[in-house]
Amino acid sequence: MILIHEFGHYAVAKLLGVRVEQFAIGFGKRLVGFRKGETDYRINAIPLGGYVKMSGENPMDRHTDDPREFLNHSRWHRFLIAIAGPAMNILLAIVLLAGVFFVHPEYAPSDDDPAIVGSVKPDSPAAKIGVQAGDRITKIDGIENPNWEEVLNKDAINVNQPLHVIIQRGTTTFEKDVVPQPVTVNQIGSSGWFPSEPIIVGTLEPDLPAAKAGIKLGDKIIAVDGRPLVSMLDLVDTLQANKTHPLDLTVERGGETLHFAVQPVLTTIPGTSQGNDWLSSFLRKIGLMRSQAQPEQQRYRIGFIGAPAPAKVERLSLGEAFSRSVSENKNNSVLLLELVGKLVQRKVSLKTVSGPIGIAQMTGQAAQAKGWAPLLILTCLISLNLGIFNLLPIPIMDGGVILLLFIETLMRRDISLPVKERIYQAAFVFLVLFAIIVIFNDISKLGAGLP
């Protein structure tokens, strides 16, 4: 993605007659590379980005009247060179996602469904405003008739911020404000409401009631004592409420509907240790990890772990795939800009931002997932993030260059080189500090997840 980004700058600069001195992946000392013509193509020691060095681009460089120097080109040329990198990243996100939609589009069954509540976590923000299973969210934060993807996205970026919602229950509606609470080490928001989900048996424990009753892997549990089930949480709550009373489970298997009598048993859920290895101890000592030991619990269970619902697959034509990709990337861009705005306003924790370590973890998970689509979709998201982030009006970044060009156009003269030099120095310090904070957050989250 960095290669694609820098190639955008490189190609437009060459096309417009600007001398390119270096095309580099990474920063710092040159490790390997080759020179062709006037350009040194190189891989550097610090693999945290890349750059295209053009003659006369840096205000601190010695400048001449050479027409091939960057600053001697028109503002229009400089604008085209600056915007080419982010544009390539956004284009890459659109092309890759269109390819996924065209070849093998998979997505969660609930993503496009109307936001009908399947389950509500006890004592959650949704439970506190009276939301119940079966309610429909007809409006959230100005979005009419949202699907579940839109609802959960709004939750995620509005931590501790009230969201105005309209809830429909039968023929009546009511309006409330729900305040998502931070969850997980990334401190994303959650209101505690979830879509309906099929209960599919993924793993069976041989000595517990479900296996003994004859339930098999892949069975779909649709009701208990004749009452339809809407989610795994619904089943868990039912088991805790009924304790050891026998239950009649209605199960779908291969087109047949079967009934099984099961009697939940009280089992002990082992507690989690706080981690006594040297790394855990060190991270706690320097304050990067809190003790997260959890006591053992007793739960009524029948002995199985649910499997994820099968993904929806909907093959699209090339035109439809491209159109949907543009729409998805547009929605993701709006969501990203909204998140950036909330970060600036300090309404969202910086822990929602992931750096190199967090990206490496997500990439590893995507690579281990079934099929190639998860990794390509993650690539699209990161490429889009890279393109949008580089368009932010931060000097040194492409967006900062564009901002200065806009200011110079309004002034009808160039900003003096000493002033540009000070601006770039301040921006460099800001970016270094930001990188340190993000990497520190990654390490903190890694430590919090060790137990």
Query: What are the structural domains of the chain?
Result: 117-195 (2.30.42.10), 199-306 (2.30.42.10)
pTM of the model: 0.76
Q: How far apart are CA 142 and CA 154, in angstroms?
A: 10
Average pLDDT, the chain: 86
Task: Please say whether the beta carbons of 268 and 216 come within 8 A.
Answer: no
Q: In this structure, which amino acid lies at residue 57?
A: E
Please report, for the chain, how many H helices and E strands are present, in that order. 12, 20
Task: Please say whether the beta carbons of 214 and 204 come within 8 A.
Answer: no
Task: Please say whether the beta carbons of 272 and 280 come within 8 A.
Answer: no
Q: For 379-394, what is the mean pLDDT?
A: 93
Q: Which range in 154-163, 296-305, 359-368 is most confidently predicted, on average pLDDT?
A: 154-163
What are the tokens at 415? 């900003």
Residue 276 clears pLDDT 60, i.e. is over it: no
What band does 180 get if pLDDT is binned at 50, 70 and 90?
Answer: very high
What band does 119 get if pLDDT is binned at 50, 70 and 90?
Answer: confident
Residue 283 clears pLDDT 60, i.e. is over it: no
- pLDDT at residue number 83: 96
Q: Is 39 helix (H, G, I), strand (E, B) or coil?
A: strand
Task: Describe the crossing of helices 373-390 and 356-368 by its angle, rounded to 10 degrees.
Answer: 160
Residue 117: Cβ-neighbour burial (10 angstroms; 0-12, 13-18, 19+) = buried
Residue 255: Cβ-neighbour burial (10 angstroms; 0-12, 13-18, 19+) = exposed
Residue 87 clears pLDDT 90, i.e. is over it: yes
Q: Over the Cα atoms of the chain, what is R_g? A: 27
* Residue 40 C-beta-side C-alpha neighbours within 13 Å: 14
DSSP 396: T
Average the pLDDT over each of 228-242, 259-273, 420-434 and give the range with the smallest value. Answer: 259-273
- pLDDT at residue number 71: 87
Residue 85 clears pLDDT 90, i.e. is over it: yes
Q: In this structure, which amino acid lies at residue 440?
A: F
